[in-house]
Amino acid sequence: MSDQGNDLKRDIELGTALGAALEMPHHGAFVTRMKALARQARPRTWDEVLAGWFWQGVLTTSMVLVAVLVGLNHVDGDATPLAGEESVAVQLIDAQRPGADVILASMTGAR
């Protein structure tokens, strides 16, 4: 047996026999199948990746913008009636305000 004492060198005889023992049939069919699979599973190039991100980015930005606008509108909607409306008491105190006497009369039952 060749190189039996030296484990840092290849045992060519054993290696050749092992290589032949492990040889698998149908190399051509395997390669053809792999090529077909590789075409289906082709990795995306950078521009394709960026293009994919572009539409996701546009969609996300649009959704964020809509959310911000809706949020702002909601805040404005809450604030406006509070600022614009005055309590009945304030309206009554202001004697110059037209209609104060009508409100007072309705509250006292027009007696």
Partner 1 sequence: MTGVDDSELAARASRGDPDAFGELVDRHAPMARRVAYAVLEDQEDADDAAQEGFLSAWQALGRYDPKRAFRPWLMQIVVNAARDLRRRRRVRAAEPLEYVAAAARDDPARETGEIHLGEQLRNALATLPERQRLAVVLFDAEGYPQAEIARMLGIPEGTVKSDVFHGRRALRKVLGSVKEEWDE
CB of 40 to partner 1, least distance (A): 10
CB of 81 to partner 1, least distance (A): 58
**Closest approach of partner 1 to the CB of residue 9, in Å:** 10
**Residues in 36-75 at the binding interface with partner 1, rule: CB under 8 A:** 37-39, 41-45
Residue 11 · residue 1 · CB < 8 Å: yes
What CA–CA distance (Å, rounded) separates 100 from 86?
13
For the CA atoms of 106, 108, 110, 111, the dihedral, rounded to the nearest 10 degrees, stands at 180
Task: Give 16 or 73: the residue with its C-beta nearer to partner 1.
Answer: 16
User: 28 to each of 16, 23, 34, 42, how far by Cα in Å?
Assistant: 22, 13, 10, 21
* Residues forming the site for partner 1 (CB under 8 A): 1, 4, 7-8, 10-25, 27, 30-31, 33-35, 37-39, 41-45
